[in-house]
Structure 1
């Protein structure tokens, strides 16, 4: 079984960026966004040093005016942070602070990563194999069906489905992954004490049991319009790529596509009727260079190599998502080939099946650009 990144009852201590309380104090300051936080951290070196700075020192940092500087002094109190910490424990929620090993590596590499993530449920190592599925709240029956089916197929292939818990396409994506017995992550704009929309309370509970709910918002944060576009950068940030299904030209899902492009993530769009308002945003994306997809194979074959290989089982290491589409025999043979040159004769000997089947399978893997033949009877994995 994949290893959980942190146990249920432990709030990790930040080793590099300061204590959890200091990070929480800053996260509770109104108006302090992730980019300004980064500027403050670069200037002062640690959360505790930021909190110890004077109003005049704080205003020396770009984007920090008198109002925000005073807010850092008055709102970032230890009492407020301890009260917030009590709320997380009462709700069975964990904190994942940037700078700890538990923090998702993909998210850490975006330009404006969250300082802290509230997590209800569990993150596991294989959640690095994630794809976002987003779209319109006001979708058609076609959109709902396609989102459900695609999420089902992704989950069955071993991909974690990421979406935003919204009505419409998001909800169908979560439901499809759950129906397939797979993992799904809901990135929320609100705090985890406030499920939004309220009719998704049961869905949120199911997601927490088969994945997790994530947010950067404090526990009691109510829905605010500005939080939803900000939330979308996390959906794309923890995903290898993002699929849009039925996004109109004014759909908030297009924000997720823009974030994905800025973060160097793959952007996919599923086509709809050319005369449907619900599909115009997706059709525009395809026209402008997004990858047209019809199903799960199109997504997995188009995703590039992983930054870091994922150990799915003791005998299976995934280096690129296309490997998830392989048959059992193809996967077995592939895992006998390493990133270092391996003799074909050694693969044949270790596979313990007919030589002809091994050689034909290696040819298939070579055609799929998963292995490469070298001179002298050697083969290497991409």
Structure 2
């Protein structure tokens, strides 16, 4: 919010301050806030309604919270938020703002506020989510980056959660493509979590945008990350799950997407890989199995344009170790039986292949080939 007229800017922020006050009212929550908005029209009308009117709509504890004067903590938050908004490319959208994303507004539980850092115009473009495991394999990261780049090249904006693993690879791939990316985070927008992604967050804010429903200063709280997943899926026309263990948080995003009427896609993996279990579960439950970006684009009715395919193309194999590996995880002893020779020779060759990015070491003394 940058306005050259200080009086107009003050008026706009006064309206926004009522939204923040409503969102921060202890014990009120999003559901009650939306019910009050439906009855009374605006946050300002809620705070002006008086105790007698509000008493018919909320519990006694909620009534006390709504009738209490702004606390010192709230005043400090409002001051910090106003200062934050004065910076370039910083925005806040309320649920009633015409620019609020329509798909998100249609959810049963849309956020009252969206804090945005970066290109707000991306929220009005065709969006697709790419999510997956934080502890992704090299193969999973390669899939995420390759699919995200191709989706970006096709004109889609890629949405993810800026976590380590698949999310990070998806953002990197989208930034490398012709399009861009949106990161939906589970902290205040003035925080970067995980700290390892600080440089990535800076690039996303510069070339894409970062979105949060949480007030400034909100620290990383475990419960907030599953909750933000409804925004990742709610913004998007479809959700692609790249790798997910059986109890992965990515399955929450996929389930929310299905409940929201979005397309759900899953990339299959080896039956021996724990990181493929979640994707296989999704496929059994009706998610579309995809092997190429073109399949995602066709389901979303997006023209593939002219771009390289991310299908795993047959590669010329003249290495005895790669040939023996196949495409499933295998333990070293079993691989040694396949190739013959001695363990020292095999270990040296595996190290060379790992340094070349063609082989990945897995837990439990297993190795797996990486296809790019």
Task: Give deviations 1:322-357, integer Å, cap 9, x for gaps.
Answer: xx21469xxxxxxxxxxxxxxxxxxxxxxxxxxxxx
Q: Is the 8 A contact 1:110 1:237 kept in 2?
A: yes
Task: Tell me the equivalent position of 1:375.
Answer: none
- Aligned-partner Cα distance in 2 for 1:42–1:229: 27
Q: How far apart are 1:43 and its partner, in Å?
A: 2.6
Would you say 1:295 and 2:288 are equivalent positions? Answer: no
- TM-score, normalised by the number of residues in structure 2: 0.74
**Residue in structure 2 matching 1:66, options 49, 60, 71:** 60
Task: Tell me the equivalent position of 1:350.
Answer: none
Task: Give deviations 1:142-173, integer Å, cap 9, x for gaps.
Answer: 11110011101001111100001111111110
SS where residue 134 of structure 2 aligns? coil
- Aligned-partner Cα distance in 1 for 2:233–2:126: 12
- Aligned-partner Cα distance in 1 for 2:30–2:256: 15
SS where residue 222 of structure 1 aligns? coil
SS where residue 264 of structure 2 aligns? strand
Distance 1:160 1:54, change over 3 A: same
- The total of aligned residue pairs comes to 298
**Residue in structure 2 matching 1:49, options 45, 50, 53:** 45
**Residue in structure 1 matching 2:304, options 317, 322, 325:** 325
Q: How far apart are 1:48 and its partner, in Å?
A: 1.3
Distance 1:285 1:219, change over 3 A: same
Q: Is the 8 A contact 1:28 1:81 kept in 2?
A: no
**Residue in structure 2 matching 1:9, options 2, 18, 41:** 2
CA RMSD in angstroms, aligned pairs only: 2.6
Q: How far apart are 1:187 and its partner, in Å?
A: 0.4
Distance 1:32 1:281, change over 3 A: farther
- Aligned-partner Cα distance in 2 for 1:51–1:195: 33
Distance 1:289 1:246, change over 3 A: same
Q: Is the 8 A contact 2:27 2:61 kept in 1?
A: no
**Residue in structure 2 matching 1:195, options 192, 197, 210:** 192
Task: Tell me the equivalent position of 1:138.
Answer: 135
Q: Is the 8 A contact 1:26 1:76 kept in 2?
A: no
SS where residue 325 of structure 1 aligns? coil
**Residue in structure 2 matching 1:107, options 97, 104, 107:** 104
Residue pairs, 1:163-242, within 5 angstroms? 163-242=160-239
Task: Tell me the equivalent position of 1:83.
Answer: 79
Q: Is the 8 A contact 1:94 1:120 kept in 2?
A: yes
- Aligned-partner Cα distance in 1 for 2:46–2:165: 42
Q: Is the 8 A contact 1:10 1:94 kept in 2?
A: no
Structure 1 stretches lacking a partner, 5+ long: 1-7, 304-319, 329-382
Q: After alignment, is 29-38 or 262-271 more displaced?
A: 29-38
- Aligned-partner Cα distance in 1 for 2:152–2:296: 13
Task: Give deviations 1:215-243, integer Å, cap 9, x for gaps.
Answer: 11001111111111110111011100001
- Aligned-partner Cα distance in 2 for 1:139–1:187: 19
Q: After alignment, is 188-197 or 175-184 more displaced?
A: 175-184
- Aligned-partner Cα distance in 1 for 2:227–2:28: 13
Q: Is the 8 A contact 1:25 1:75 kept in 2?
A: no
Q: Is the 8 A contact 1:163 1:186 kept in 2?
A: yes
Q: After alignment, is 151-160 or 272-281 more displaced?
A: 272-281
**Residue in structure 2 matching 1:273, options 260, 267, 270:** 270
SS where residue 173 of structure 1 aligns? helix
Structure 2 stretches lacking a partner, 5+ long: 308-372
